[in-house]
Amino acid sequence: MGGLTVARMSGEGEAQIARIKPKGKWPLLVAVPPESLATEEARRVLPSQYSRADAVVNVQNSMLLVAAFVQGRGEFLASALEDRIHQPYRAPLCPLLPALQGTRRNTGRFLGVSRAARPPF
């Protein structure tokens, strides 16, 4: 689909997909470490349950991220990218994460971090 795409899987394995055209230009930094991280290992460190507060904050941040893109509001970006569901638990497995989070806060860049695959170049 390209661009900013929001997808939801239904119970029958069918996807509901919406493409959102971001307003303005957004700088992007993608960091790919030399080693990969197995999905099973990344999932193993997650708790079996989360607090309601953490779940609510993550939903709010997701909506704020969509609003930032739709309205071209870069000042929302750092807050919208805060995560309570994955990052606190996976941080020990991702040694680049603290430095990248600092970059996001200081520059307002949208960061993509991939540990699953190496770039084709």
* Rg (the chain; Cα; Å): 15
Q: How far apart are CA 33 and CA 2, in angstroms?
A: 24
pTM score of the predicted model: 0.73
Measured at the CA of 97, the angle between CA 99 and CA 22, to 5 degrees, comes to 95
Each residue of 79-104: pLDDT tens digit?
898 999 999 999 899 888 877 776 65
Each residue of 47-72: pLDDT tens digit?
999 999 999 999 999 999 999 999 99
Domains, the chain: 27-113 (3.30.70.890)
